[in-house]
Amino acid sequence: MGALAGVQPAWAAITESDFLDELPVVLSVSRLSQPVSEAPAAVTIIDREMIRASGFRDIPDLLRLVPGFSVAYTRDNTWAAGYHGLGDAFSRRFQVLVDGRSIYSPHYGAVYWTDLPLSIDDIERIEVVRGPNAAIHGANAFAAVINIITKTAAQVQGESVSLQFGEQDMRGFTVRHGGGDAALRYRLTASAQQRDRFERDVTFKSTVSGDNGRYLESSQTYFVNGRVDRQLSPDADVMAQFGVSKGDWRAGREVANPLSVLEPTEQDSRALYLQLAYHKVESERREWRVQAYHSRNRFDANARSDLSALDPAYGVVSVDQYLMQTRSNIELQVNEQWRPNLRGVWGGEVRQETVNSPQNYNSDKTRSGVLARAFGNLEWRPGERVLLQGGAMLEHHYFTGTDFSPRAAVNFTLTPGHVIRLGVSRAYRSPTFFEVEGNQILSTESGAPTDLVTVPSAGLAPERVLSREIGYVGYWRPLRLELDMRLYRDHIDDFIGQIGAAPDTGSFRPKVFTFSNIGSVDTQGGEIQLRWRPSPALELGAHYARVFSSTDTADKNFKRDIPVSAPRNSWGMLATYRMGNGWESSLFAQRSDAQKWLTEGDVTEAFTRIDARLARRWNWQGRAVEAAVVGQNLGKDYQEFRDTNVFSRRVYGSLSLAW
């Protein structure tokens, strides 16, 4: 094991000392364990202490701690996220992983965060690779990679219970049990969560008779997940996970707008996954891992609207928005150390994805596609101050054929703890099933077609991005200060947008839509993040981003919206102060300029958000207890994604016990 001691693969556990001894270690950028100063791309680490101090209870909210990210809840179990802009309702330009399992939707490209059978309390850390990373994680690692790493079974032995209760009908209950022995450890988590996302009394900008009034966006989600870690021998181990969830979401206007027939007021969801991984250390120079997983997401929502008032010929339109999507995947990863100054990782995977949705594709047929990938990454240290890295992904996608995604980076150590990074990479985003084959047709209850909404594309090329960056990572040991700065320039070709496919059809929905490669986008800017720990009692994290975008697209709407799809300036801060005797306080602040969410979204005006948390930990009859009160958005109300999504001040309390 000696030669590989510094070459932990991306599945290996990291101890708390990795985050306290100078610069922290990351695993997601190159699939090689390395300090952030030696990574070939910029990365943000959200550790479990930051998660706890933030007071956030929804995983996507944690992206507010990352420079350049915009995040908002949209509706119908969907969160929007953008990195340097280009955000829409489906966040289709990220690769999101949980313990190496992709949760990117093959249908829309969305990430169904609320449907994810994962408690925020079970997350060990999140690594966010800021920039394209297709050389390691393939197509859809286009703008960024969000890698969620959960706690091992050994980290959560014993029992724990946590409860949240607060305004906006916030309810949360989680119970966890961990047990086993040195050879076999397991954990089991069950949770029930309830949210009422926004203020219900709103005024709509575009109305029909009786349209104003109350607006509902609430959810109830229940899930169970489990993990088993088994040490088969001193050099081999196996990990197994499972998760199942059930959701009941309700949304929409109290007085329904008949034109919103494609926005159901009730939605039922089911999700499950199974994952198995085997890890083997062959020698001091080689170790490998093979993993397989299967995931399934099902949504069922019906909508019914009487359009007779608009035209008696339309009658009653009925929509069955059943959707089933699956993913089955097997992957091999091999880490090798050939020489003291030369190491690498290589491997490949095969994946099958399926989608079935009669309403979205005008067919009962289950659509299926298989993609295959092979990747490799080398790290060579020719001298004490220079580190060279290069890698590539060769991928065959079921829609777009074969693509090649290379990356090269060089890291120069100026003085110990201060590194300059130069990098260039190419990445692709393959279109989703809906972008290529979506064909929505509205029909009357008798089955007669009434309106055409979306037609299949004429054939789509993948989006392509060429990204160039200059980065600096510094660590001042006497000050316990970490600083990360990045300047970047991205050029996107063949940007895929939803555009009008036909002129006025004379029906109640006058536009027919399709997806098309509509042009190019240029984005440039800079980011800075710091983490300062001047004493054991005080910790401060802060970030700032500035973005400039331009576009040359064939569609006038995107030509207008893309340059303002990212806030020109944004910043955030999370400060934690430990006051002694178990008391702890934290403050989160966020400021964002105005931005336009693409396609389904509205303009979000500039806003400032302030959250505060006060907590105390103590022991009671052999149990570790923590009580906390959290105030979110303590200033003015602001809007998220749509002008009807009004996020107001709210307070909740939490209580947790562990033994």
Q: pLDDT-derived band of residue 342, with 50, 70 and 90 as boundaries?
A: very high
What value does the mean pLDDT of the chain take? 90
Which residues lie across from 295 on neighbouring strands? 273, 327
- What does the pLDDT read at residue 17? 39
Residue recorded with tokens 């940007």: 495
pTM, full prediction: 0.93
pLDDT over threshold 50, residue 10? no
Task: Please provide residue 78's backbone torsions phi and psi, each rounded to the nearest 5 degrees.
Answer: -120, 135
What's the number of domains the chain is made of? 1
Query: Are the beta carbons of 264 and 284 closer than 8 angstroms?
Result: no
Distance CA 168, CA 266 (A): 19
Residue recorded with tokens 């000696």: 2
Q: Taking residues 610-635, report their average pLDDT.
A: 96
In three-state form (DSSP H/G/I as H, E/B as E, the rest C), the secondary structure along 60-127 is HHHHHHCCCEEEEEEECCEEEEEECCCCCCCCCCEEEEECCEECCCCCCCCCCHHHCCCCHHHEEEEE
Least confident of 156-165, 186-195, 205-214: 205-214
Q: Taking residues 553-573, report their average pLDDT.
A: 94
Q: What domain range includes position 64?
A: 2-363+370-658
Question: Any idea of the CA torsion for 84, 396, 555, 600, to the nearest 10 degrees?
Answer: -60
pLDDT, greater one: 210 or 338: 338
Distance CA 362, CA 341 (A): 57
pLDDT, greater one: 22 or 28: 28
- What does the pLDDT read at residue 244? 97
Show Cβ contacts of residue 52 under 8 Å, excluding neighbours closer than 6 positions: none
Least confident of 37-46, 80-89, 490-499, 608-617: 80-89
- What does the pLDDT read at residue 42? 97
pLDDT over threshold 60, residue 12? no
Least confident of 210-219, 379-388, 531-540: 210-219
Sign of CA dihedral 492, 498, 502, 504: negative
Query: Are the beta carbons of 618 and 606 closer than 8 angstroms?
Result: no
Distance CA 23, CA 474 (A): 9
- What does the pLDDT read at residue 601? 85
**CA 405 vs CA 330, 376, 392, 421, 488: distances in Å:** 21, 11, 5, 20, 18
- What does the pLDDT read at residue 185? 97
pLDDT tens track for 134-152: 999 998 899 999 999 999 9
- What does the pLDDT read at residue 311? 66
Burial 20-41, CB ≥16 within 10 A → b, else e: eebbbbbbbbbbbbbbbbbbbb
Share of the chain above pLDDT 70, in %: 91
Q: pLDDT-derived band of residue 210, with 50, 70 and 90 as boundaries?
A: very low
CATH code assigned at 464: 2.40.170.20
Share of the chain above pLDDT 90, in %: 75
Show Cβ contacts of residue 363 under 8 Å, excluding neighbours closer than 6 positions: 439
- What does the pLDDT read at residue 20? 41
Residue recorded with tokens 């101890």: 15
Query: Are the beta carbons of 112 and 272 closer than 8 angstroms?
Result: no
- What does the pLDDT read at residue 452? 82
Residue 476 CB neighbour total at 10 angstroms = 12
Residue recorded with tokens 């996220």: 81
Least confident of 200-209, 506-515, 603-612: 200-209
- What does the pLDDT read at residue 320? 82
Residue 194 CB neighbour total at 10 angstroms = 18
- What does the pLDDT read at residue 203? 66
**CA 424 vs CA 146, 147, 347, 468: distances in Å:** 20, 21, 22, 4
pLDDT over threshold 80, residue 5? no
Q: Taking residues 210-231, report their average pLDDT.
A: 84
Q: pLDDT-derived band of residue 207, with 50, 70 and 90 as boundaries?
A: very low
- What does the pLDDT read at residue 448? 75
Task: Please provide residue 75's backbone torsions phi and psi, each rounded to the nearest 5 degrees.
Answer: -175, 170
pLDDT tens track for 116-135: 999 999 999 999 999 999 99
pLDDT over threshold 60, residue 344? yes
Distance CA 433, CA 388 (A): 38
pLDDT tens track for 427-467: 999 999 999 999 988 877 777 777 788 999 988 999 999 99
- What does the pLDDT read at residue 254? 60
Of the ranges 6-20, 73-87, 238-252, 330-344, the best mean pLDDT one: 330-344
Q: pLDDT-derived band of residue 201, with 50, 70 and 90 as boundaries?
A: confident
- Residues in the chain, overall count: 659
Distance CA 92, CA 518 (A): 17
Of 398, 399, 379, 375, which Cα lies nearest the Cα of 388? 379
User: Containing H/E element for 578?
Assistant: strand 569-580
